[in-house]
Amino acid sequence: MDRNSRIFVAGHRGLVGSAILRRLTEAGHTDLVIRDRSQLDLTDQAAVRAFFDREGIEQVILAAAKVGGILANDRFGGDFIRDNLLIQNNVIDAAWRAGVKKLLFLGSSCLYPKHAEQPIKEEALLTGEMEPSNKPYAVAKIAGITMCQAYRRQYGFNAICAMPSNLYGPGDHFEPETSHALPGMIRRFHDAKVAGDPTVTLWGTGTPRREFLYVDDMADACIHLMDHYDSGEIINVGPGEDIAIADLAALIRDTVGYTGTLTHDLSKPDGHPRKLMDVSRLFATGWRPKVSLEEGLRRTYDWFLENAAPERRQVPKQAAE
């Protein structure tokens, strides 16, 4: 991307969007367009079209989405499918209508079939049964991918689709009820450490395996793809290595400094048994991740302590008087 290109980062306050904005700024891009929800409601078709007609956007990174963990997907499935369909339909269509040169749409590894052959190749999409715990979100995101590919075929619109693995890092959501597994564990171990609780209970068996990508590496991959990838085929983005949830929990426990014991609530769902993606297509373009899981966890916990720990948000008694 030319440093003078006018780039719209949709979802710049989210985990991925904020990292992309940081990386673009560090790389010297000078014409970055951002809007928060109060300025532009991406579920409002008329507002989105007017925005693109007015702003002269050249490139779009569509990182805006409604996301959450297993519990949030189960409780708010209607919100997930509605909001994500509206956001992506409005942005993709308005971008094409306004003559945007290139758009990057973000999918997710959770879109792949529950029992896909490992490691998961891009061709596995829509070849088997979805994981039911996140089906509304997955259906919406697959529709977005299909829309990008259909607009490419019919209109010649240069829309590309990346499939990131599980992401984590500064700016993540750590609320116990709505977060993904990794930030949720950071929060539970931290709270247990502060409270002196002797045990922490994790959902499921701990045997499912996941791969985790530090969000700044994801941002680098997005910029790399905008510069070096123009195919209509989806492309996986991840480190190419996975870890059992129980082993991840042990790493997080050590990072936080919690000294209690772990137990498992076997009545809770595990989700996908394994999600390891084949990233050979991405690696063939010359990209590699830079941040190890151990280093990424340390950076994430440091950010949590400074910005999101519950005790940081409490108003001191003297200040409230």
Q: Which structure tokens are listed for 50?
A: 């007017």
Q: Is the backbone of residue 179 left (phi > 0), alpha (psi -120 to 50) or beta?
A: beta
Confidence at residue 290, expressed as pLDDT on a 0 to 100 scale: 98
Annotated binding site: 11-17, 106-109, 141, 164-167, 180, 188, 203, 210, 270
Confidence at residue 107, expressed as pLDDT on a 0 to 100 scale: 97
Q: Which of 180, 286, 294 is nearest to 225 (CA)?
A: 286
Confidence at residue 203, expressed as pLDDT on a 0 to 100 scale: 84
Regions of the chain short of the pLDDT cut 70: 311-321
Could you tell me if 245 and 307 are in contact, meaning their C-beta atoms sit under 8 angstroms apart? no
How far apart CA 222 and CA 215 sit, in angstroms, is: 10
Confidence at residue 316, expressed as pLDDT on a 0 to 100 scale: 37
Q: Return the amino acid letter for 261.
A: T
Q: Which structure tokens are listed for 98?
A: 């306004």
Annotated binding site for substrate: 188, 203, 210, 270
Residues 6+ apart with CB under 8 A from 263: 199, 200, 201, 202
Confidence at residue 83, expressed as pLDDT on a 0 to 100 scale: 97
From the candidates 137, 151, 168, 229, give the one annotated as an active-site residue.
Answer: 137
Could you tell me if 169 and 296 are in contact, meaning their C-beta atoms sit under 8 angstroms apart? yes
Annotated binding site for NADP(+): 11-17, 106-109, 141, 164-167, 180
Active site residue 112: no
Confidence at residue 228, expressed as pLDDT on a 0 to 100 scale: 97
Q: Note the pTM of the prediction, 2 decimals.
A: 0.92
Digit-coded pLDDT (tens) for 34-82: 999 999 999 999 999 999 999 999 999 999 998 877 777 778 899 999 9
